[in-house]
Amino acid sequence: MANEMWGGRFAEGPAAIMQEINASISFDKRLADQDIRGSIAQAEMLSAQGIIDAQSAEAIIQGLKNVKAEIDAGSFTFKASLEDIHMNVEARLAEIVGKPAGRLHTARSRNDQVATDFRLYVRDSIDMIDAALKDLQQALAEKALTHAGTVMPGFTHLQSAQPVTFGHHLMAYVEMLSRDRGRFADARRRLNECPLGAAALAGTSFPIDRDRTAKALGFDRPTANSLDSVSDRDFALETLAAVSILAMHLSRFAEEIVIWTSAQFAFVKLSDKFTTGSSIMPQKRNPDAAELVRAKTGRIFGSLIGLLTVMKGLTLAYAKDMQEDKEQTFDALDSIALCIASTAGMVRDMEPDAKRLKKAASSGYATATDLADWLVRVLNMPFREAHHVTGRIVGIASAKGVDLEKLSLGEMQAVEPRITGAIFDVLGVTNSVKSRTSYGGTAPANVRMQAKKWLAKLAK
Ligand code: ARG
């Protein structure tokens, strides 16, 4: 049987395999809500412009609401023979309201329709991501405030570098997420133009009011070029790029959680809520959620590269290739939502082991820079020379197998006679972090201030 929506010049229906490759309903049914919102805006506008009569418009709008109710209730039957969400909705509308339904598809095409639906979907997703990111920032800043003074080793090259605080480390992610939110907001601003009314590619001869439909759907304005309107998927690409950078950030934190929860580090503990056991090794508590956050980055990057590749080299205007924009975008958006929520859960759940962190911070001569800085500050030694003197003192401590603060004054004076007992004030890790008061530094007072500033901002 020929397609009931567009089969006028077709004698036969499609081959089974043609339907299978062509139909998108299995995945674009997720656009049902956006599709119906778009159609209601279209019907209202057509009526206001006198393009269709008010009675038909009313019947259409009521019918669309009924279709939406059926979909929400799960009683709607999606048909692959009707290809996609647009034709499934319209066909059901015709069954419900009869003839007037045929007037809905005036001055539009599935090309501008799908572009509109997909923009609305991506925009809705951006709004949800932003709310979830805000929640994650809140979780991080709260934990950071609690642990503003919890000393831990700071790393470069994953080698003990200088002591920092646990709160400071968490606040680093608050900053990253704030840039992520900026990227989403930026993408949303450019996304927020309405393609509806571009029709198939050339615009329409009907006296439509594109400002009206744009406004009704919450867009800032209509898109300016009809060809671009139906060909553009930048909004999805930009969003996937922002999702990818965010996923990269979350994967770094996830990796740290995996390392921190290992028995060898044991910096933090996750409760049973965020770990799993092993079926053979009873001692195991695996940080599966963190591992999966780390891993989902792969499919998210894949979605970005996948869609870029679909769009590459496509001539204007619409081509069916563009139907391949949805699944990977949906998958990336689903994945990132899971990743953000799981990370927030782990942050709230995690308990740092303050004693162990402090001990780890004290080993590895992490206050060597403090010693060198003291020599510069108090003895007015050039930093390069101080670096050298400190290196020799570290060598002595290392040979003895003790921390810097465990050396006697005499042992240090053997290297540099002008060193006094005051040196011990800077050799402990607590004093070390306390002294890092430069703007953006790890001093607990700084961290407390930053965390409070963020919490106040996020509460607004
Ligand atoms: N299902 C199609 C898509 O997702 C809708 C647009 C179809 N347009 C067309 N000219 N066949 O892209």
Model pLDDT for residues 373-397, shown as the tens digit of each residue: 999 999 999 999 999 999 999 999 9
Question: What are the pLDDT digits (tens) for 416-435?
Answer: 999 999 999 888 999 999 99
pLDDT > 80? residue 222: yes
Q: Please name the residue whose Cα sits nearest to atom 12 of ligand 1.
A: 323
Confidence band of 278 (pLDDT split at 50, 70, 90): confident
Residue whose CA lies nearest to ligand 1 atom number 4: 323
Instruction: Report the pLDDT averaged over residues 110-137.
Output: 98
**pLDDT at residue 281, rounded to an integer:** 78
Q: Looking at the CA of residue 322, tell me the nearest atom of ligand 1.
A: 12
Sorting pLDDT into bands at 50, 70 and 90, what band is 246?
very high
Residues having CB closer than 6 A to ligand 1 are: 24, 28, 84, 110-111, 114, 318, 320, 322-323
Report pTM. Answer: 0.94
**Of residues 75, 157, 205, 408, which has the active-site annotation?**
157
Q: How far is the CA of 294 from the centre of ligand 1 (A)?
A: 34
Give the least confident one: 118-122, 186-190, 285-289: 285-289
pLDDT digits (tens, 9 = 90+) for 324-371: 999 999 999 999 999 999 999 999 999 999 999 999 998 888 889 999
What are the φ/ψ torsions at residue 164 (nearest 5 degrees)? -135, -175
Distance 72 CA to ligand 1 centre (A): 23
Give residue 401's pLDDT: 92
pLDDT at 12: 81
How far, in Å, is the centroid of ligand 1 from the Cα of 334? 23
Q: What is the pLDDT of residue 325?
A: 98
Please confirm, yes or no, whether 157 is among the known catalytic residues.
yes
The residue annotated as part of the active site, out of 26, 262, 271, 278, is 278
- The pLDDT of residue 10: 81
Q: How far is the CA of 320 from the centre of ligand 1 (A)?
A: 6
Ligand 1 nearest atom to the CA of residue 24, by list position: 1
Mean of all residue pLDDT scores within the chain: 96
Q: How far is the CA of 180 from the centre of ligand 1 (A)?
A: 31
Give 8-57 pLDDT, tens digit per residue: 788 788 888 999 999 999 999 999 999 999 999 999 999 999 999 999 99
- Judge whether 147 counts as a catalytic residue: no
Mutate-to-test residue for ligand 1 from 108, 320, 330, highest number of ligand atoms within 8 A of CB: 320
Q: Whose CA is nearest to atom 10 of ligand 1?
A: 111
Averaged over 234-246, what is the pLDDT? 98
